[in-house]
Structure 1
């Protein structure tokens, strides 16, 4: 006999950047600035990410496309891999993500793709503490989740290997 289980997540929604905690306002502004450095000539979809480390340091990433499509990399992974390489012993406290499109204004929150969720999950597991994620479009509401697990509740990890 089968059993159904319900998985629920809790989102916190902010109507503007000014409602965010001061340090997260700065983080989102850095993500917005970094979005402008995206190399997105194929999708015309630019993403900026900014990571807040426990030391207060902020590191950033933007999406980088390539004519050989699978060779590009999303902003979130550019930022988190940079943290892993340059700040390997620092705990990631928060991640801010923002996106824009050349085709229309994005006024709804844009969360990370599945590959980015999996990569972020690895870092969250590795540091054994949650990473708060804040995401938005170009304008509009900002969504906060308290942990990558909220976006990837049944994620794959090393215990399966």
Structure 2
């Protein structure tokens, strides 16, 4: 069986073009980026996730001297949600990453391991998760599903 693959994303002009909830997600991701534990790479990432019940859960990357024992912001946040809100759907995920001392940056999408983890939760809830990734100065990209960032994805349909 051959699958059809398409991807799409939207560029959001600036922070001012976000709705109030999206601004809260941006601000929370930015706040958690500032407290990331990244003494080795000095690359700090913050993540904020909107749940269907309206709660916003945030996290940051956590490094460890014993590489690769650390964990990305997206996975620290989504795994915490999976453990604490196992039956609540995830609606939106917002991520901001940059070198610690950077004043500007480019939008950084989730890494491959994070994309795979987000895919698992999207498949589990049978509902897409909007993904936003932003620069420090408000350049933002939005996708309607993690499958837009991972078109040739591996999921349970192959098992």
TM-score in same-fold range (> 0.5): yes
Task: Tell me by how many angstroms 1:36 deviates.
Answer: 1.0
Instruction: Check the 8 A contact 2:45/2:72 in 1, yes or no.
Output: yes
In the alignment, the residues of structure 1 paired with residue 22 and residue 10 of structure 2 have an alpha-carbon distance, to the nearest angstrom, of: 14
In the alignment, the residues of structure 2 paired with residue 83 and residue 93 of structure 1 have an alpha-carbon distance, to the nearest angstrom, of: 12
| 1:112 alignment counterpart | 110
Instruction: Check the 8 A contact 1:49/1:79 in 2, yes or no.
Output: yes
| 1:79 alignment counterpart | 77
| 2:59 alignment counterpart | 61
Structure 2 vs 1, CA of residues 159 and 149 (structure 1 numbering), >3 Å: closer, same or farther? Answer: same
In the alignment, the residues of structure 1 paired with residue 124 and residue 4 of structure 2 have an alpha-carbon distance, to the nearest angstrom, of: 27
| 1:16 alignment counterpart | 14
Task: Tell me by how many angstroms 1:79 deviates.
Answer: 0.5
In the alignment, the residues of structure 1 paired with residue 68 and residue 141 of structure 2 have an alpha-carbon distance, to the nearest angstrom, of: 28
TM-score in terms of structure 2 length? 0.93
Instruction: Check the 8 A contact 1:136/1:142 in 2, yes or no.
Output: yes
State the superposition RMSD in angstroms.
1.6
List alignment gaps of at least 5 residues for structure 2: none
